Amino acid sequence: MYPLKRNRRLRTNEAIRSLVRETIISPNDFLVPLFVVEGNGIKEEIASMPNYYRYSLDLLEHEIKELWKLGLKSVLLFVKVPDNLKDNKGTEALNPDGLMQRAIKTVKNACPEILVMTDVALDPFSSYGHDGIVDNGQIINDDTAEVLAEMSVSHAKAGADFVAPSDMMDGRILTIREALEDEGFINTGIMSYSAKYASAFYGPFRDALDSAPVDMVDVPKDKKTYQMDYANRFEAIRETEMDIDEGADIVMVKPGLCYLDIVREIKNEVDVPVAVYQVSGEYAMLKAAAEKGWLDYDAVMMEQVTAIKRAGADIIASYFAKDVVKIINNI
């Protein structure tokens, strides 16, 4: 005797599958990372990230308008800083006329309604490629946090809606929150990279910004003293809860696919929005496999972003955002 309950009835055709689908992807799920460079007329492909680009400010304006037309309403800005402006303390990061500050203003002038988040870390500005100040072979925590707070205030003054500290220094969220409050930026939000792991998936991103740690004596060769050990799970919950207590409005897990168990753990524990960063290595792997004809790019891309949302992500920072939305909108 066959069972009265047959689960396959709900899989019979696309109409019924769509009707009962539990996880729906929309443009509102995405935060679009954007890389900005000095110059004019520059749309420069990143070699290790095919079909992803660095933009000069004039072409950044065009890109912002295209994103808005697609229904993508939030961006996360990163800047590639010329070597001659880099030092150990990230001095250029505090320049009110610096590239990040001008990029914020460019985006807001092009589309005032778009949400602007900004990367807050020293590595793009550091002559050593680290997220903090280097002293005698160590990354100095508290002095770095003070600089990050100054950076955050500078971004807020330029018009940023959210600052996104990606450094993993202890206590920096409270330091940033207090600095923003003291300057009157009570509505400027903080999206904290709360569970950012010391991952091998960041390589193409560091190519994009020329921000990899330098190979020098008395300079840490990697970021493992501040980014999290990828073998750890409960540590991520502790880090995240501390950031929320210090004033984070949104928390992030980075990278994405290899850390979906962490996403679910955190989602189950906290009551603020959870973001996931689908990082450059994840993007590059799929691009390379698709170029070889080994994977169906569109199908795998949609499966990946759906998995991230299914795991509990409220926000997905992804280099796939435009491609996903074009599929959703049948463009």
Active site residues: 196, 254
What interhelical angle do 260-269 and 234-246 show, nearest 10? 50
With residues binned 3-state (H G I as helix, E B as strand, rest as coil), the percentages for the chain, rounded to 5, are 45, 20, 35
Dihedral sign of CA atoms 158, 87, 52, 222 in order = negative
How is residue 77 written in tokens? 């800005």
**Residues 73 and 115: beta-carbon distance below 8 Å:** yes
List residues bridging with 250 in a β-sheet. 191
DSSP 3-state of 185: coil
Q: Within 13 A of 314's CA, how many CA atoms are on the CB side?
A: 14
Give Dmax over CA atoms of the chain in angstroms: 78
How is residue 157 written in tokens? 């003054």
Q: Measured between alpha carbons, how far is 184 from 69 in angstroms, rounded to an integer?
A: 33
What interhelical angle do 172-182 and 141-158 show, nearest 10? 40
